[in-house]
Amino acid sequence: MEVSGKRIVVTGAAFGIGKSMSKIFLNAGAQAVVMTDINAEGLKTSAEEINAPYLLADVSKEEDIINLIDQSNALMGGIDIFCSNAGIGGESGLLNTSDEDWQNIWGINVMSHIYAAKHVIPKMLEQKEGYLVNTASAAGLLTQVGAAGYSVTKAAAVSFAEWLKITYGEKGIGVSCLCPQGVRTAMVEDAHDIVGSLVGMDGIMEPDDVAREVVLAVEKDQFLITPHTQVLDYIKMKTADYDRWISGMQSLQKQLLDNFPDADDMFK
């Protein structure tokens, strides 16, 4: 799908990849971009900087997604591309997590994609054209040591995006799934040093560079977006010999704990 002239919604747009996607889409000639986030102050600042309309929303709530879609349709006269980008890192480990922790990360990292697709696809089918960009993570393809909630929800996000592409791909609905590794965002920079060391093993990318990859993928109707090209090699290694891959991940976890002994509780 050509981005030029399109009407776009981006969630999680106050900072990081979402803010960059909003800016890069506009630079690529989008007709309009509606930015949304739960962080009112950050969203207002970023939207004014980019000169784009913005709407507050808690994407883990279906009623907020419905309202976002309705208001975006009113503002732009329709939606051509919906970028379900909002996500959180959640709590580390497993043993110390609560039911509330799991419900929170599941709502934001998975249900937000489901609610968006459920309520934006019907109008796209009427238009006979539409595009969904779902932000997951390389962790959804590979896992992330020390983060059960993040790994599980990002894997679910990838699986849902696959299902959407299989189900609606021949009905005029394009789908791309964004799976980066380390990106220079608050989620990475504010985390424990062990997280930065882990996700930065293949380099930390700038959000604008990731956003440019998204634009290219949309215009090529490319499903999987892996800005860190090493991820594709890791997937091949994983599928070629699952046991060997798990053994390698266990070795990586041990190496990280040896280097950051104060992070032991994060891996329980």
265: in domain: no
188: in domain: yes
The string of DSSP letters for 64-79 reads HHHHHHHHHHHHHSS-
240: in domain: no
Q: What is the pTM (predicted TM-score) of this model?
A: 0.93
Alpha carbons 211 and 106: distance in angstroms, whole number: 24
Q: How many domains does the chain have?
A: 1
Beta carbons of 256 and 197 less than 8 angstroms apart: yes
Query: In terms of Cα–Cα distance, which of 92, 83, 111 is closest to 6?
Result: 83
| Percent of all residues in the chain with a pLDDT value above 70, rounded to a whole number | 94
Q: Sorting pLDDT into bands at 50, 70 and 90, what band is 253?
A: confident
Amino acid found at 43 = L
242: in domain: no
Bridge-based pairing state of the strands 173-178 and 130-135: parallel
Beta carbons of 140 and 154 less than 8 angstroms apart: yes
**pLDDT at 153 > cutoff 70:** yes
Beta carbons of 110 and 153 less than 8 angstroms apart: yes
221: in domain: yes
Range of the domain at 87: 7-232
256: in domain: no
Query: What's residue 193's pLDDT?
Result: 62
Query: What's residue 73's pLDDT?
Result: 98
159: in domain: yes
Q: Sorting pLDDT into bands at 50, 70 and 90, what band is 194?
A: low
Q: Which residue matches tokens 């997604």?
A: 65
**pLDDT at 265 > cutoff 80:** no
Q: Find the helix packing angle between 62-76 and 112-127, rounded to 10°.
A: 40
207: in domain: yes
- At 24-63, the pLDDT tens digits run 999 999 999 999 999 999 999 999 999 999 999 999 999 9
> With the CA atoms of 142, 147, 152 and 155 taken in that order, what torsion angle do they form, in degrees rounded to the nearest 10?
-30
Alpha carbons 187 and 87: distance in angstroms, whole number: 9
Sheet arrangement for strand 173-178 = 54-56, 32-37, 7-10, 81-84, 130-135, 173-178, 224-225
Alpha carbons 151 and 159: distance in angstroms, whole number: 12
For the annotated catalytic residues, the residue numbers are 150
User: At residue 134, what are phi and psi to the nearest 5 degrees?
Assistant: -110, 120
- At 70-126, the pLDDT tens digits run 999 999 999 999 999 999 999 989 998 999 999 999 999 999 999 999 999 999 999
For the chain, give the mean pLDDT: 93
Domain CATH number, residue 137: 3.40.50.720
User: At residue 14, what are phi and psi to the nearest 5 degrees?
Assistant: -70, -35
**Burial degree of 81 (CB within 10 A; 0-12, 13-18, 19+):** buried
